[in-house]
Amino acid sequence: MRCFVLLLAVLAISQSHALTRIPLHKGKSLRNTLKEHGLLEDFLRTHQSEFTEKGFGTGIVASEPLTNYLDSEYFGTIYIGTPPQEFTVVFDTGSSELWVPSVYCNSRVCQKHHRFDPSKSFTFQNLSKPLFVQYGTGRVQGFLGYDTVTVSDITVTHQTVGLSTQEPGDIFVFSPFDGILGLSYPSLASKYSVPIFDNMMNRHLVAEDLFSVYMNRNDQGSMLTLGAIDQSYFVGSLHWVPVTVQGYWQFTVDRITINDEVVACQGGCPAFLDTGTALLAGPGGDILNIQQAIGAVQGHYGLFKVNCWSLGMMPTIVFEIHGRKFPLPPSAYINQEPGSCTSGFKFGSQMWILGDVFIREFYSVFDRANNRIGTLLILHASLNVISSEKVPVIPKPQE
């Protein structure tokens, strides 16, 4: 009887971990907001020398291009402190820091967002170490502290949190998010920071050392799941891709083809999945080949425009990754807005960055235990996929 009770307790704990979901809300991108306010050209002119290239943390400085968040559309809610203070963040697999504005930042940027007040949290401890996140032409500055952070039903005590006292320019004034929660490897963080998912793993707060992301095109319904894979989105089998460098979630793309002809990534190239970047970024020559193949021409604001009437004649672009083909139809890589259509590909990175354009088509599993990525074709694309041995799976809801 005692063993039976113990088994039930273990199963209950495992199930509670497996059901950790964080809804992601799709909002208006910062690019569109700046455009509406007539500020986009000034921003792009100011940041024209800043590439999409991301950099590793060096000492106390974590490096992150500001333009990566220009098109971010997916945000979630976390709570910091005791009692909890609420923040909207980008869950970013392309960085590793957790930071939010503090009440000690009095600029217009910070005043437009939620600001953390350490004096109102009795669990806050000042780490007495500086926060520097480099953004190409500016940096977020502040200080680091420890506090309790709650993400869905997971509470992480003594978590490193960056609190900004200065943010670069006015760019973040119109941003729909307060801060960033990084989900990449520790090597991208400053030397005083421990990424929050690392603490979740080390303290056994998740059933398995992985998380998974589902994004859709609607305002609601996107989801980040911690410690499990959510079977309700898929059928089929998971395709595992090994992580090649433990910094970003980096892997190798074999080639990129159109009608079986290689148009980019000849001979293989490095890439990584980035939930903090909306578009698909790559080397200039590769991107230009693709833009020409789909009939895109240079437009305003650094984007390439296409004729909305020609979508039905555009080709499917295929990413071949670790022996499997991942097709992107025009409906995936063309952004359709009233009166205009733009390409989801952009210049600016020596390494391919596969952002939300890719992730919306392919459910993505980030497996830290085995240093691999699972890529799965989403049901809404009329394709299949999912599941894996030794990975807890959330059962499909009852009809």
Whole-number pLDDT of residue 13: 44
Whether 167 and 260 map to the same domain: the answer is no
Domain-embedded: residue 34: yes
Q: Are residues 233 and 197 in the same domain?
A: no
Give percent of the chain with pLDDT exceeding 90. 55
Q: What is the pLDDT of residues 92-109, one digit of tens each?
A: 998 899 999 999 999 888
Domain assignment of residue 210, yes or no: no
Both 99 and 131 in one domain: the answer is yes
Range with the lowest mean pLDDT among 12-26, 77-91, 188-202, 340-354? Answer: 12-26
Task: Report pLDDT for 15.
Answer: 42
Q: In this model, does residue 55 exceed pLDDT 70?
A: no
Q: Which of 175, 205, 235 is the last residue of a domain?
A: 205
Residue 27: give its domain's CATH number. Answer: 2.40.70.10
Please report the pLDDT score of residue 207 as a whole number. 94
Q: Which residue has the higher pLDDT, 54 or 61?
A: 54
Q: Which range, of 43-57, 101-115, 164-178, 207-221, averages the lowest pLDDT?
A: 43-57
Provide the whole-model pTM.
0.85
Q: Do 247 and 300 belong together in one domain? A: yes
292 shares a domain with 242? yes
pLDDT mean across residues, the chain = 82
- Summarize the confidence of residues 220-246 as an average pLDDT: 88
If pLDDT is split at 50, 70 and 90, which confidence band does 299 have? confident
pLDDT exceeds 80 at position 222? yes
Q: Name the pLDDT band for 63 (thresholds 50, 70, 90).
A: very low
Of residues 66 and 169, which shows the higher confidence score?
A: 169
Active centre residues (catalytic): 92, 274
89 found inside a domain: yes
| Least confident piece of the model among 40-49, 300-309, 383-392 | 383-392
Boundaries of domain holding 273: 227-394
- Do 181 and 244 have their domain in common? no
175 band by pLDDT with thresholds 50, 70 and 90 = confident
Residue 262 has pLDDT above 70, yes or no: yes
The answer to whether residues 152 and 78 belong to one domain is yes
List Cβ neighbours of 79 (8 Å cut-off, separation of 6 or more).
Answer: 85, 86, 87, 149, 150
Domain membership flag for residue 122: yes
Same domain, yes or no, for 283 and 380? yes
313-324 pLDDT, tens digit each: 999 999 999 999
For residues 66-76, give the mean pLDDT: 62
294 lies in the same domain as 150: no
Residue 141 and residue 268 in one domain: no
Q: Could you tell me if 197 and 72 lie in one domain?
A: yes
Report whether pLDDT(369) > 50. Answer: yes
40 has pLDDT over 90: no
What is the total count of domains within the chain? Answer: 2
Q: Decide if pLDDT at 53 tops 80.
A: no
Same-domain check for residues 153 and 261: no
Residue 11 has pLDDT above 60, yes or no: no
Q: Does residue 199 lie within any of the structural domains? A: yes
pLDDT of residue 384: 32
What average pLDDT does range 294-316 have in this prediction? Answer: 89
- Write down the pLDDT at residue 375: 87
Band (16; pLDDT cuts 50, 70, 90): very low
**How many Å apart are CA 74 and CA 94, to the nearest integer?**
14
